[in-house]
């Protein structure tokens, strides 16, 4: 099992550009989520999905879109990048929603918006 994979590992964008961060898991997990990690802020939840076709907003959803067409994939889209979106982005998955389940994290994508 590869676990949770994320691509790319690093990305530099100019303000206003769009891009998609890819996330895939091969553990047949129902719950997937996207976090951003900024210094002194911990991880903040952007969007999450409790299954294919179902997504919802987390703590900081503005500027980001998601979709979940398959169990395996959960891409995060930045429609018009802003410098405030410079961060490290982590995708995670767990067997189901709830605070009792272990979340498995990908290695992260470091995004810089100039």
* Interaction site with other proteins (CB under 8 A): 4, 31, 33, 35, 40-45, 48, 50, 56, 58-59, 90, 92, 97-100, 102-103, 105-108
With respect to other proteins, which residue has the nearer C-beta, 21 or 80? Answer: 21
CB 61 within 8 A of CB 47: yes
Query: Which stretches of the chain are assigned E, i.e. beta strand?
Result: 4-7, 10-13, 19-25, 31-38, 42-51, 54-57, 64-66, 76-78, 87-94, 104-105, 109-113
With respect to other proteins, which residue has the nearer C-beta, 80 or 112? Answer: 112
- With tokens 């959960």, the residue in question is 74
Closest CB 76 distance from other proteins, rounded Å: 15
With respect to other proteins, which residue has the nearer C-beta, 19 or 105? Answer: 105
């Amino acid at each position: 099992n590869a676990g949770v994979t994320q691509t790319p590992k690093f990305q530099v964008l100019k303000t206003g550009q769009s891009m998609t961060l890819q996330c895939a898991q091969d553990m047949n997990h129902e719950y997937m989520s996207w976090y951003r990690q900024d210094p002194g802020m911990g991880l903040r939840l952007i969007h999450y999905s409790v299954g294919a076709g179902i997504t919802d907003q987390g703590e900081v959803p503005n500027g980001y879109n998601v979709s979940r067409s398959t169990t395996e994939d959960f891409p995060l889209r930045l429609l018009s990048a802003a410098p405030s979106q410079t961060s490290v982005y982590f995708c995670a998955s767990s067997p189901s929603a709830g605070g009792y389940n272990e979340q498995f994290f990908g290695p992260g994508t470091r995004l810089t918006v100039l």
